[in-house]
Amino acid sequence: MRYLINFDAKLMDNYETDVLIVGSGISGLFAALNIDEKLKVTIISKEDSKTNNSYMAQGGIAVTFEAEDIESHIEDTMKAGGYYNDLPAVRILVEEGRKNIEKLMAYGVEFDQEEGHIAFTKEGGHSIRRIVHKKDYTGKEIIEKLIEVVRKRENIVCYENSFLIDVLTESEGVKGAIALIDNQKKLIQTNHVVLATGGIGKLFMNTTNSSISTGDGIAVAYRAGAIIEDMEFIQFHPTPFQSQGEAFLISEAVRGEGGILRNKNGEAFMGKYHPMKDLAPRDIVSRSILKEQKVQNSPEIYLDVTHFEEGYFDKRFPSIFNYCISKGIDPRKEWIPVNPSEHYLMGGIKTDFNGKTNIEGMYSCGESARTGVQGANRLASNSLLEGIVFGNRVARTINSSGSIVNKSIDINFSELIPISDEYSKDILELKKIMDESANILRSENKLLEALDKIKKLKAVYENKCCNEKEFMEFKNMLIVSELIISMALDRKDSLGSHFMEDSNE
């Protein structure tokens, strides 16, 4: 179905803006700040403006400050991505990193310093230390500072607890959008919509993602006819702390600073699986953990930092330290229990190098976009970098096309039947299907079975509508799940994070 709800645009309350940005993670905020101040920009966030994956980012931002490191950052990105990345996009990412980091700093973002210079850390897949960070709460530092600047800008309006229902299109492109703002359905008249809606972690039971991560932007774009690509490439972070349904990230920077993965007998096992050991690219570490769990016939895997110099861990990683203590583990004396969980989507809404989709007036940046930089497996700490580099490019593109707000939108849609059924058990069912099929190890049989179940679930709800945000999210989740499973089935051979047990790596 083309839209999520029945509506008649002519009868709706309307709201005008030159640019609508959906999502207040790093790419959405950075795009907003770089749009010409003569244009009215409206940012909507599904929950509060800090509930997003960027805010939760711990490790940092990979950035090349020295010209001689450019080629090695490109090579590390391509290698981690299985050389499936679009090389020109990767070159843009790396070459435009520094100037955008400097812009972030000009907005007030602070990174850790060492002897008067920025301190760099290391994570998996990086050949050198090139990650700028603020202890283990880099995302919080960035988002809080950017929000402060956004709030001072007179041309930017922010609405929290607001939900994009659909982008309205006609043959010439974007005509506007419909959103729930303060629980009221509003028609938004605009001809620039930036989808910066983040990840899809909530399609799985265990994820490091924030609660908003149901892939809404991808589903909205898909319904509007945007090209969606590479959805089979989903990264599972190797070392979240698992506790009562939560997957709290234990940053890869912990291994970058010397943390060691151990099996239940205390053996440092990563050397058996990859020459880079604990700092191999993430897809490889996650699969190695699964192999080790199978070999030892137990899920017990630990991250050991007990050998760190006294006083270092709690100072360098205070959020992780406090979380572990709250769960009864003192990392200075005990190993931290870890297990891989969904972390990042490499695919998404296909864009060109300026964040433009195939639909005139629709853009995407950040995790919801498929810019080509992340390939089949993202290099650690390249995601915030992608957010600023391509967020800035989206802004530049919008600045060069200016404002032409659509004055009248004459679209109505009435094909859906209001529903009163209980659907929440099917959300759980969908997550179970995704866990069983689209996880770290995949097989054609499991994927085929999953596709069949998802199609059946989709058919139940296809022509139904309901005013509850959760129902709309669920319909979005069904679309995104089907895209993931069908693209995974189309890719017969293993590549990067897409690992088919029944094919060779």
In terms of CB distance, is 216 or 252 closer to ligand SIN?
Answer: 252
Q: Could you tell me where the DSSP H helices lie in 353-423?
A: 383-401
Least gap, CB of 365 to ligand SIN (angstroms): 17
Residue of 282, 287, 378, 442 marked active site:
282
Minimum distance of ligand SIN from residue 127's CB (angstroms): 16
Burial 399-417 (b: 16+ CB within 10 A, else e): eeeebeebeebebebeebe
Cα(76)–Cα(88) distance, integer angstroms: 15
Nearest distance, CB of residue 250 and ligand SIN, angstroms = 8
Min dist. Cβ of residue 315 to ligand SIN (A): 17
Residue number closest to ligand SIN, CB atom: 59
197 is written with which tokens? 């809606």
Nearer to ligand SIN (CB atom), residue 191 or residue 197: 197
Q: Which residues form the interface with ligand SIN (CB under 6 A)?
A: 57-59, 249, 251-253, 344, 380-381, 383
Residue 344 vs 413, nearer CB to ligand SIN? 344
Q: How far apart are the C-alpha atoms of 243 and 245, rounded to whole Å?
A: 6
Closer Cβ to ligand SIN, 22 or 57, answer by number: 57
Identify whether 255 is a catalytic site residue: no
List, in order, residues 6 or more apart from 69 with CB less than 8 Å away.
128, 130
The closest alpha carbon to 283, from 437, 480, 124, belongs to: 124
* DSSP assignment letter at 498: B
CA distance 21 to 186: 15
Of 189 and 251, nearer to ligand SIN (C-beta) is: 251
Q: Which candidate, 158, 197, 203, places its Cα nearest to that of 181?
A: 158
Q: How far is the CB of 303 from ligand SIN (least distance, A)?
A: 11
Residue closest to 32 by CA, chosen among 473, 433, 350, 392: 392
Count other Cβ atoms within 10 Å, centred on residue 126: 26
Residues identified as active-site: 282
